[in-house]
Chains A and B, each alone.
Chain A
Amino acid sequence: MNSNSGYNGLFDPMLAPGRTLDFAQQGLSNKTVGNPFSEKAKMSVRNLNVYYDNKQAIHDVSLDIKRNEVMAMIGPSGCGKSTFLRCLNRMNDTLDNCRVEGEVTLDEHNIYDRKQDVVPLRARVGIVFQKPNPFPKSIYENVAYGPKVHGLVSRRAQLDEIVEDSLRKASLWDEVKDRLFSPGTGLSGGQQQRLCIARTIAVSPEVILMDEPCSALDPIATARIEELMAELSQNFTIAIVTHSMQQAARVSNRTAYFHMGRLIEVNDTRRVFTNPEHELTEAYITGRFG
C-alpha cells in the first residue's frame, strides 16, 4: 500500500460517514501506542519495513512477542498483518518481489542475519496457513513429514510416538487413530486444519504462527481450534492473525492493531477491547469500518 495515498478503497464510503473516512486518511504516524515491548520477549521485531516491489507494505513496525503468550494481530484487509506474520519465519523469502528491512530476533538472535539458515529457523518457528493444506499423503505421513526431513528420528517406534503425541496435542488423535493411513485430504476442513497444526507441532517448534487459521472453517471447528490454542500456549508461543475480533478477544493475551501497514496500538487484549487508546483502534473494534 502506498504510504501517501491514504484512503484507497479499504472502506466503503457508503457505510463510513465522512468523519471516519477523514480520520482514517489522516497522516498516520509510525508511532505505536500502548506497550509493544516486553522484558520476556521470545521474538522481538525492530523497525521492520517490508516492500513488495516498490510498494511499502509495512512501515517501521517494532513489537515484542512474549514467551508462551498468544499474540493476536487484527486490522482491516490489506493492513499488513499477514505480511508481518510471514516475516517472523521468513516465509516471505519465497516471494521474489518481497524485500525486508529491519531486525527480527528469536531468542536475541537476528533471523535476518546473513548467516541464518532458514531451514532450522522454520523448524523453530512453525506456521499454519489460512487454508488447510495437508499434503496429498496419508494422515500418518503428513505428521511424520517434518520429523523425517529433519532427521529427528532413527526408528519407526520413535516416529510412531511423535505422530501419536502430535495428533493428541492437536486433539485429533481420537478421530483418526483408526485410519492413520488413509489420505489426509479426505478429512473434513476442521480436521484438516488440526492435522496441519499437528504437522507443525511434530517438529516441536518454539513459536507457532497462525495466519487466519479458522477463516475457512465452520463455527464448531473454529471452537475446537480455539480451545486447542489455549492448550498449546502452555508449551508454545503463538502469534495469530485473525479477522474475527471475537476470536482475538477469546484466545489472545495481547492484541496488536494494524492499520495500513502501521502498528497502531498494542495492549493487553482486555484493554484493547474495553478501553482502546487510539481512536483508529476504537473505530475498528466498534465496527465503524473494517
Chain B
Amino acid sequence: MQYIGYKGNELTYMETPTLIIITLLCATGAYILGRNRASNIAYRAGKKNVLHSLPYYYGVLSALWCVLPCLFIVLAWNLLDDYVVHTAIVKLLPGSVQALPDSEIELMVNTVINNALYPNALIGSNPPDYILQAGQDYLRWQQLSQLSLTVVVLISLGLAFSLGWLWIKPKVHARQQVERVFQWFLLFCASIAVVTTIGIVLSVLFESLRFFQSVNLFDFIFGTHWSPQTALRIDQVGASGAFGAVPLFLGTLLISFIAMLVAVPAGLMSAIYLSEYASPRFRATVKPILEILAGIPSVVYGFFAALTVAPFIRDVGDLLGLDVSSESALAAGLVMGVMIIPYVSSLSDDVIKAVPQSLRDGSLGLGATQSETIKLVVIPAALPGIVSGILLAASRAIGETMIVVMAAGLAAHLTVNPLESVTTITVQIVTLLVGDQEFDSPKTLSAFALGLMLFIVTLILNYVALYVVRHYREEYE
C-alpha cells in the first residue's frame, strides 16, 4: 500500500513503481539478449532454418518470461497485503474493540492507520495508547511486507531471466508461444468492457432491489404520480413520497420523439444529398461543418434552448393564442433534435457511400432515374447502417440530460402536450443524487431503479431494431 505524502521512517524497501520499472528494464535487456542469443545459435549452426522461429520471437519470449511472473507477484501481493495487514491490526486491538460491529472496527482500523501515517495531523486529539501501539506495528509490517516483496520480485526476476535464457533452443516454438500470450492479452482487453458492463448492471440491480423493498414494483412502473419527497423526521407532515415513474417515461418518450422527428428526416435527407447529389467540393466543405454540431457540448445547446428557442416558442404560441409554458418539451425536443442530426447524417452518409457503384450503375443502366435508384436500391442496401445511426441518435436523445434540465423543467407532469413542461428519467436521476443524500432512503435509491428501467428500455429498443434490420436487410456481397 502506498500512501501519498507518506514520508515516514527511512524507507529500506523499494516501492511498487520502482519494482515495475526494474522489471521492465530487465525485460528490455532480456529481449535484446534473447534475440542475440537466438541469432548466434543460428549463425553458429551455419544453416538456414535451424531456428524454429525468427530471432525476434525468442527475444520477445525472454521478455515475457521476465514480465509476466513479476507482474503477477506484484499484483497479487498488493491485493493480499491490504487484507492481511487489516486482519492483523484487528487482532492487536483490545477485546472490547473487537466486540464492536464491523463498521466500527473498520473505522478504528482507519484511525490506527491515520495516526501512524500522520502522527501530528489531528491536533488536539489524544488517541489511546493501544491505537498508537497498533500504529507502530502497522508501520513495521508495512515495511516488512514491502521488503519481502522486493526480495521475492528480484529473486523471481533473476530466476525468470535465466530460465528464459536457457529456454532459447532451436526447437522451441517461440512464435506460437508468443502469439498465444498475445492472444490471451487481447482477450483480457476485450473482457474489460464486458466485465465493467456486468459490474454496472449488477450494482444498479442490487440497489434497485433495495428500493423495491420499500416501494412496490407495480406502484413504481404503473404509478402516475412522481413526487420523491420522503420524510426526514418521522413526525414530518405530508411527505410520504410518491414514486410513480409513468410521468417520467412519458416525458422522456415525448422529448425523444420530438427530437427524432427533427433529426431523422433532416439527417437522412442531408446524408442522401451529400452522398448522392452534392459535388465533391461542397461535400468536403459541408460534412465537417455538420460534424461540428456533434462536438458542441450539450450544455451549450441547453442554454440555446432555454434562452432562445423556448421564449421564441412561447411568443409564437402567444401570437396564435396558445397557452405555452416558458419551459416546454417542444423547445427541448427541437434543440435536442438538432444536436443529434450529425449522428444520423454522418453515419448514414458513410454507409450510403459504401454501397457499391456497380449497384447504382445496374439500376441506372436499366433506365431508372437517380431518385428511383436511391429509393429502391441504395437506401435498402444501406438500411442496416442507417438504422444503427438512428439508434445511436435515439439513445443519445433518451440519455440526454442538460438540454432537458435547462429547457423543459423539472416538474413531472403527466402529459403528452409538447407545449407543457415535462421532465425525463435522466433529469430526475440527477436531481435525486445531487447534494447530500442518505443512501438508505427510497428517494435516493429510486435513482437506481430509474437507471435500471432506462437500461432495460434501451436494451429492448436496441434488440428490436437489430431484429428488424436482420429481417429486412438487403445484403450486398
Contacts and interface: CB of A to CB of B under 8 A. Distances in A.
Contact of A123 (B362, B366, B372, B381): B366
Given A94-B361, A133-B356, A133-B359, A145 B368 contact: yes
A126 B475 contact: no
A145 B381 contact: no
Query: How many A residues touch the partner, as a band?
Result: 20 to 34
Given A123-B367, A137-B380, A203-B367, A196 B474 contact: no
Nearest to B373: A149
A20 interface: no
A283 interface: no
A126 B381 CA distance: 23
Interface in B353-383: 356, 358-369, 372, 376-377, 380-381
B476 interface: yes
Contacts of A98: none
A133 B361 contact: yes
Nearest to A150: B367
Contacts of B477: 185
Interface stretch (A44-52, A114-122, A230-238): A114-122
Given A91-B365, A121-B367, A185-B475, A149 B377 contact: no
A135 interface: yes
A129 interface: yes
A183 interface: yes
Interface string B28-54: 000000000000000000000000000
The winner among B367, B372, B377, B476 for most chain A CB atoms within 10 A is B367
A131 interface: yes
A199 B475 contact: no
Interface in A72-97: 89, 91, 94, 96
A150 B366 CA distance: 9
Nearest to A124: B367
Given A136-B475, A149-B376, A183-B475, A129 B359 contact: no
A145 B372 CA distance: 10
A203 B362 CA distance: 13
Contacts of B474: 135-137, 183
A149 B369 CA distance: 9
A228 B363 CA distance: 22
A79 B379 CA distance: 35
A127 interface: yes
Nearest to B365: A127
Interface string B460-477: 000000000000001111
A264 to B, nearest CB: 28
A133 B378 CA distance: 13
A229 to B, nearest CB: 18
A94 B366 contact: no
B360 A94 contact: yes
A242 interface: no
A126 B365 contact: yes
A134 B362 CA distance: 8
A149 B364 contact: no
A120 B365 CA distance: 11
A61 B431 CA distance: 77
Contacts of B368: 119, 145-146, 149
B361 A199 contact: no
B349 to A, nearest CB: 18
A136 B354 CA distance: 14
B376 A145 contact: yes
Contacts of B380: 136-137
Contacts of B360: 94
Interface string A126-167: 110101011111000000011001100000000000000000
Given A94-B360, A121-B367, A185-B476, 18 more contacts: A89-B365, A119-B367, A122-B366, A129-B362, A129-B365, A133-B356, A134-B362, A135-B359, A136-B359, A145-B363, A145-B366, A146-B366, A149-B366, A149-B376, A185-B477, A196-B362, A199-B366, A200-B365
16 contacts: A91-B364, A119-B367, A120-B367, A123-B367, A135-B359, A136-B475, A136-B476, A137-B474, A145-B366, A145-B376, A149-B366, A149-B368, A150-B367, A183-B475, A185-B477, A200-B366
Interface of B: 279-280, 356, 358-369, 372, 376-377, 380-381, 474-477
